[in-house]
Amino acid sequence: MHLRRKKPISISLDEVTGSDEGDDRPRNEIGGPDPRLSGLLDRLNLQWAIDQLPEGYREIFVLYDVQGYEHNEIAKILGRSIGNSKSQLHKARKRLRELLGRARRRNRQENRGAADHLSALAASY
Protein backbone atom coordinates (compact mmCIF):
# COMPACT_ATOMS: atom_id res chain seq x y z
CA MET A 1 0.00 0.00 0.00
CA HIS A 2 2.97 2.29 0.65
CA LEU A 3 4.02 2.02 -3.01
CA ARG A 4 0.49 2.74 -4.21
CA ARG A 5 0.36 5.98 -2.23
CA LYS A 6 3.61 7.24 -3.72
CA LYS A 7 3.11 9.62 -6.59
CA PRO A 8 5.25 8.92 -9.66
CA ILE A 9 8.22 11.19 -10.12
CA SER A 10 8.07 13.16 -13.34
CA ILE A 11 11.31 14.45 -14.84
CA SER A 12 11.63 16.27 -18.11
CA LEU A 13 13.55 14.55 -20.89
CA ASP A 14 15.84 17.59 -21.19
CA GLU A 15 16.76 17.24 -17.52
CA VAL A 16 17.59 13.55 -17.92
CA THR A 17 19.66 13.81 -21.09
CA GLY A 18 21.45 17.01 -20.14
CA SER A 19 20.51 19.31 -22.98
CA ASP A 20 21.73 22.33 -20.96
CA GLU A 21 25.39 22.48 -21.93
CA GLY A 22 26.37 24.85 -19.08
CA ASP A 23 25.29 22.47 -16.33
CA ASP A 24 28.11 20.29 -14.91
CA ARG A 25 25.88 17.78 -13.07
CA PRO A 26 26.21 14.16 -14.17
CA ARG A 27 23.30 13.05 -16.34
CA ASN A 28 21.47 9.77 -16.57
CA GLU A 29 21.77 7.98 -19.84
CA ILE A 30 18.55 6.88 -21.47
CA GLY A 31 18.32 3.10 -21.26
CA GLY A 32 20.93 2.96 -18.50
CA PRO A 33 20.31 1.32 -15.15
CA ASP A 34 18.21 3.28 -12.68
CA PRO A 35 19.62 2.92 -9.14
CA ARG A 36 16.19 3.66 -7.66
CA LEU A 37 14.73 0.61 -9.39
CA SER A 38 17.58 -1.79 -8.60
CA GLY A 39 17.00 -1.25 -4.88
CA LEU A 40 13.30 -1.88 -5.35
CA LEU A 41 13.97 -5.21 -7.08
CA ASP A 42 16.30 -6.25 -4.27
CA ARG A 43 13.64 -5.45 -1.67
CA LEU A 44 10.99 -7.35 -3.63
CA ASN A 45 13.25 -10.38 -3.99
CA LEU A 46 14.05 -10.29 -0.27
CA GLN A 47 10.38 -10.08 0.67
CA TRP A 48 9.59 -12.96 -1.71
CA ALA A 49 12.36 -15.07 -0.14
CA ILE A 50 11.22 -14.30 3.42
CA ASP A 51 7.68 -15.28 2.47
CA GLN A 52 9.01 -18.64 1.19
CA LEU A 53 10.60 -19.53 4.56
CA PRO A 54 8.90 -22.06 6.80
CA GLU A 55 6.95 -20.37 9.62
CA GLY A 56 9.46 -21.18 12.39
CA TYR A 57 12.43 -19.91 10.37
CA ARG A 58 10.52 -16.78 9.39
CA GLU A 59 9.52 -15.98 12.99
CA ILE A 60 13.07 -16.17 14.29
CA PHE A 61 14.55 -14.32 11.30
CA VAL A 62 12.09 -11.43 11.61
CA LEU A 63 12.46 -11.19 15.39
CA TYR A 64 16.27 -11.25 15.30
CA ASP A 65 17.35 -9.60 12.04
CA VAL A 66 14.43 -7.26 11.40
CA GLN A 67 13.15 -6.30 14.85
CA GLY A 68 16.49 -6.61 16.68
CA TYR A 69 15.60 -8.98 19.53
CA GLU A 70 18.37 -11.00 21.19
CA HIS A 71 18.27 -14.80 21.28
CA ASN A 72 17.37 -14.91 24.99
CA GLU A 73 14.41 -12.56 24.33
CA ILE A 74 13.24 -14.62 21.35
CA ALA A 75 13.44 -17.78 23.45
CA LYS A 76 11.15 -16.20 26.07
CA ILE A 77 8.73 -14.80 23.47
CA LEU A 78 8.34 -18.08 21.57
CA GLY A 79 8.81 -20.44 24.49
CA ARG A 80 11.85 -22.14 22.99
CA SER A 81 15.45 -22.60 24.03
CA ILE A 82 18.23 -20.15 23.14
CA GLY A 83 19.98 -22.92 21.20
CA ASN A 84 16.83 -23.52 19.16
CA SER A 85 16.65 -19.81 18.36
CA LYS A 86 20.26 -19.77 17.16
CA SER A 87 19.83 -22.94 15.14
CA GLN A 88 16.63 -21.76 13.46
CA LEU A 89 18.23 -18.40 12.61
CA HIS A 90 21.22 -20.14 11.02
CA LYS A 91 18.93 -22.38 8.95
CA ALA A 92 16.74 -19.41 7.97
CA ARG A 93 19.73 -17.41 6.72
CA LYS A 94 21.06 -20.40 4.78
CA ARG A 95 17.65 -20.92 3.14
CA LEU A 96 17.40 -17.19 2.32
CA ARG A 97 20.79 -17.32 0.55
CA GLU A 98 19.53 -20.22 -1.57
CA LEU A 99 16.24 -18.50 -2.38
CA LEU A 100 17.88 -15.17 -3.23
CA GLY A 101 20.40 -16.95 -5.48
CA ARG A 102 17.50 -18.60 -7.28
CA ALA A 103 15.71 -15.25 -7.65
CA ARG A 104 18.89 -13.62 -8.99
CA ARG A 105 19.33 -16.37 -11.61
CA ARG A 106 15.65 -16.09 -12.58
CA ASN A 107 15.96 -12.31 -13.03
CA ARG A 108 19.09 -12.71 -15.14
CA GLN A 109 17.32 -15.21 -17.41
CA GLU A 110 14.32 -12.91 -17.77
CA ASN A 111 16.57 -9.95 -18.61
CA ARG A 112 18.47 -12.03 -21.16
CA GLY A 113 15.20 -13.14 -22.75
CA ALA A 114 13.93 -9.56 -22.95
CA ALA A 115 17.22 -8.39 -24.52
CA ASP A 116 17.05 -11.19 -27.09
CA HIS A 117 13.46 -10.24 -27.91
CA LEU A 118 14.41 -6.56 -28.35
CA SER A 119 17.35 -7.51 -30.57
CA ALA A 120 15.07 -9.60 -32.76
CA LEU A 121 12.60 -6.72 -33.02
CA ALA A 122 15.34 -4.26 -33.93
CA ALA A 123 16.71 -6.62 -36.59
CA SER A 124 13.28 -6.93 -38.21
CA TYR A 125 13.08 -3.18 -38.90
Q: What is the pLDDT of residue 112?
A: 73
What φ, ψ does residue 9 adopt, rounded to 5°? Answer: -85, 125
Model-level pTM?
A: 0.59
Q: Which amino acid is at 84?
A: N
Give Cα separations from 77 to 17, 50, 51, 64 (angstroms): 54, 20, 21, 12
What are the residue boundaries of the structural domains of the chain, listed by start? 53-125
Buried b (16+ CB within 10 A) or exposed e, 28-55: eeeeeeeeeeeeeeeeebeeebbeebee
Q: What is the pLDDT of residue 18?
A: 53
pLDDT in tens, the chain (125 residues): 565 666 666 666 665 555 555 555 555 566 666 666 767 778 888 899 999 999 999 999 999 999 999 999 999 999 999 999 999 999 999 999 999 998 888 877 777 776 666 666 666 66
H/E segment holding residue 125: none
Q: What is the pLDDT of residue 94?
A: 96
Q: What is the pLDDT of residue 1?
A: 58
Q: What is the pLDDT of residue 31?
A: 67
Look up the CATH architecture of domain 53-125. Orthogonal Bundle (1.10)
Can you say how many angstroms the Cα of residue 115 is from the centroid of all Cα atoms in its chain? 21
CB 86 within 8 Å of CB 69: no
Buried b (16+ CB within 10 A) or exposed e, 91-101: bbbebbeebbe
